[in-house]
Homo-oligomer: A and B are copies of this chain.
Amino acid sequence: MSEYEDRPTFSIPHRAYPMKIALEEAVSTSVFNATETVPAVDAASELPYTRGEYGRDVGRRLTDLDLRVQSMGQAGIALSVVSLTMPGIEGVFDTEAAVDFARRVNDEIYQTYVAGEYADRFRAFACVPMQRPEAAATEIVRAVMELGAVGALVNGYSNVDGANNVQYLDEPQCEPFWAALEALDVPLYLHPRIPVPNQLRAYSGFEFLAGSPWGFGVETATHAVRLMLSGLFDRHPRLKIILGHCGEGLPFSLSRIDARLRHFRGELVGATETLQTYWERNFWVTTAGVFSESTLADTLRSCGSDRVLFSVDYPYESYEEIGTWFDHLELDASTRAKVGWQNAANLLNLAR
């Protein structure tokens, strides 16, 4: 019998890496459920992709703790940083309700995950009621100081007093929240949210496009560019923003934007630095939802190896699938350790 039979092959990883940390991992809670709790945006219409078998499977996995821990184990993921799934508190129309929900959701996530049965396997990004930025500031301080939250996660724009009034994070009234975040020295994960009604949905038959990863990426990247151009990082140079999905396309496009902006600096652009400067100083990106080797290579080239972090986007993606993908990647040991777990440990100050 030939030794060929028991040689390693390319369908079996040579090694597994069980220390991985994942950062864009969604949960739902009993006190706040995106599709049932009112008054809030109609999440069912915002999340058309939740229909069908895939949708039901996602729904179950959002709350099944044992299944989550089991899947993490199979995927070699030591720690998940969980957060409330979109649209989250940002979709609550009533500001008072948003403030109240955020607090109760953070408490529940703390009890269930951070201080729960599998406490060593979980940390949390807190939700915050951006409808009232002072309250968001208060809540992130409480969540970090009292509940051990390692940062905040915001699902894009916030509805303020209804579906038709949206607020982006670069608007001046958000200042108290940013000040608190910078003082705490914890990052904000800027998570996608379905784009506000626009051309993506203008033509019948393409509503779906808005909810696809294309719409998510465009909306979130635009939000990030707004933050950069607003001068936010001139006022708060130590802010730390995390983007998922290998940076939502920005690594590919920043140099072109900066090249164009050189013609307008001072006149139309208030920010003092190039976008690339903010990108390299204030942004981290995760691999959530990505399993393309070339997209990761491009991202590493754009961001350097200290600012890219493994993530999955569970339960919208599979822990096992993306974990296996990562373990198969042709990476040097140093870069694998950084992306897989060290960068997250540093950014979130996980090593005590």
Cβ B3 vs Cβ A57 within 8 A? yes
Known A249-B249, A252-B298, A302-B332; contact A9-B321, beta-carbon cutoff 8 A: yes
Cβ B256 vs Cβ A289 within 8 A? yes
Q: Specify which chain B residues have a CB less than 8 angstroms from the CB of A54 in the assembled complex.
A: 3, 263-264
Question: Looking across the interface, which residue of chain B has its beta carbon closest to that of A246?
Answer: B252
Q: Specify which chain B residues have a CB less than 8 angstroms from the CB of A256 in the assembled complex.
A: 213, 217, 245-246, 289-290, 292, 295
Q: Report how far A266 CA is from B304 CA in the complex, Å.
A: 38
Q: Report how far A325 CA is from B12 CA in the complex, Å.
A: 12
A199 in contact (CB, < 8 A)? yes
Within 8 A of B (CB), among A241-285: 245-246, 249, 251-253, 255-257, 259-264, 267-269, 277, 280-281
One of B49, B226, B304, B328 near A206 (C-beta < 8 A): B226
Number of A interface residues in the complex (CB < 8 A): 93
Q: Specify which chain B residues have a CB less than 8 angstroms from the CB of A12 in the assembled complex.
A: 11
A218 in contact (CB, < 8 A)? yes
Q: Specify which chain B residues have a CB less than 8 angstroms from the CB of A209 in the assembled complex.
A: 222, 225-226, 229
A166 in contact (CB, < 8 A)? yes
A7 in contact (CB, < 8 A)? yes
Q: How far is the CB of A320 from chain B (nearest CB, A)?
A: 8
A330 in contact (CB, < 8 A)? yes
Question: Looking across the interface, which residue of chain B has its beta carbon closest to that of A55?
Answer: B263
Cβ B328 vs Cβ A10 within 8 A? yes
Q: How far is the CB of A8 from chain B (nearest CB, A)?
A: 8
Q: Is the interface of A mostly helix, strand, loop or mixed?
A: helix
Q: How far is the CB of A310 from chain B (nearest CB, A)?
A: 15
Q: How far is the CB of A215 from chain B (nearest CB, A)?
A: 8
Q: Report how far A255 CA is from B292 CA in the complex, Å.
A: 7
Q: Specify which chain B residues have a CB less than 8 angstroms from the CB of A198 in the assembled complex.
A: 195-196, 198-199
Q: Specify which chain B residues have a CB less than 8 angstroms from the CB of A338 in the assembled complex.
A: 304
A334 in contact (CB, < 8 A)? yes
Question: Looking across the interface, which residue of chain B has its beta carbon closest to that of A211?
Answer: B268
Within 8 A of B (CB), among A97-132: none
Q: Specify which chain B residues have a CB less than 8 angstroms from the CB of A49 in the assembled complex.
A: 260, 263-264, 268
One of B251, B255, B306 near A334 (C-beta < 8 A): B306
A48 in contact (CB, < 8 A)? yes
One of B3, B205, B324, B334 near A304 (C-beta < 8 A): B334
Besides the known contacts A256-B292, A293-B293, A303-B334, 15 further A-B residue pairs in the complex with CB atoms under 8 A apart: A3-B53, A4-B320, A11-B11, A11-B12, A49-B268, A171-B203, A196-B202, A214-B221, A218-B221, A246-B256, A256-B290, A280-B332, A293-B330, A294-B302, A294-B330
